Amino acid sequence: MIKTPVSEILQTLVELQKVDNRLGELDISKVFLPKLLNEYKNEVDELEAKMDNLEKAEISLKKAIDVGELDLKETKENLKKSEEKLLKVKSNREYDAVQSEISHLEEKSAKTEEKLLKSMEELDVVQSDLKETTKKFKEIKDGNKEEIKNIQQKLETLEQTIKGVEHEWNMLADKVPKRILATYRRIRGGRDGLAIVKVRKRACGGCFKVLPPQMIQELKKQEKIINCENCGRFLLWDEEVSS
C-alpha cells in the first residue's frame, strides 16, 4: 500500500470540510426554500381573498341601496297619497286616522333615508379599499411571481445538487484513511462543524490554545497528523498565518 503524504491528507480534509459546509447550507435550503415559497404564495392568496370579500361587500351594498331607493320612492308616493286624502276628509275621526298614517309614513321614510345614507357611506369605504387592494394585489402578484419562479427552479434542482455534492464528498472521503475520517466526523459533529483548522500565531485556530514549541516543530515538518490536545481539531500549518 502506498502511504498518502500527510500534507495531502490534510488538504483533503480541508476540501472535505468545505463540501460538508456546502451540504449543510443545502440542507438549510431544503427547509427554508419551501417556507419562503409558501410565504410568497400566501401573500398573494391573502390579498386575493381580501379583494374577493370586498367585491362581495360591494355587490351586497349596491343591492341594499337599490332596495332602499325603491322603498323610499314607494313610501314617498304613499305619503303624497295620504296628504291628498287629508284634504278630503269629512270627519275628525277620519282626519286623525289619516294624520296617524302620515306620521307613520314620515317616520318610515326618515328611517329608510338614514339607512340608505349609511349604506352609501359604507359603499364609499369599500370601493376605495377595493381600489387600493386591487392595485396592491397587482404589484405583489407581479413581484412575487418572479420570486416564486426562482424558488421553484431552485427546489427542482436542489435534490440533484445535493446528490452531486454528496458524490463529491464520497470521492474525497475515499482518499482519507478510515480512522482519520472517523475522527474527522466525530469532531465535526461536536465542534460547530469545524474539524480542521489552521494554526494561528502558534495557537489552535479553533480553541485558541497556545501550542507547545515541540508540537509547532512537528507541525512544520508535516510528517504526521496532529490534533489539538485541547479541542481535538486537526491542525494545519500555514506559514503565512501560523508562525
Report the residue number, 195 or 231, with the smaller CB distance to Zn ion: 231
Report the residue number, 135 or 220, with the smaller CB distance to Zn ion: 220
- Nearest distance, CB of residue 5 and Zn ion, angstroms: 23
Measuring CA to CA, which residue among 167, 160, 64 is closest to residue 120?
A: 64
- Nearest distance, CB of residue 233 and Zn ion, angstroms: 5
Q: How many residues bind Zn ion (CB under 5 A)?
A: 6
Report the residue number, 165 or 207, with the smaller CB distance to Zn ion: 207
Site string for Zn ion, 170-209 (x = CB under 5 A): ----------------------------------x-xx--
Report the residue number, 180 or 207, with the smaller CB distance to Zn ion: 207
Does residue 235 touch Zn ion according to CB under 5 A? no
Collect all residues with Cβ–Cβ distance below 8 Å to 57 and sequence separation of at least 6: 122, 126
First to last CA, the chain: 34
- Nearest distance, CB of residue 192 and Zn ion, angstroms: 12
Report the residue number, 97 or 210, with the smaller CB distance to Zn ion: 210
- Nearest distance, CB of residue 33 and Zn ion, angstroms: 35
Report the residue number, 162 or 194, with the smaller CB distance to Zn ion: 194
Please tell me whether residue 196 adopts helix, strand or coil conformation: strand
Site string for Zn ion, 213-232 (x = CB under 5 A): ---------------x-xx-
Site string for Zn ion, 48-87 (x = CB under 5 A): ----------------------------------------
Footprint of Zn ion (CB under 5 A): 204, 206-207, 228, 230-231
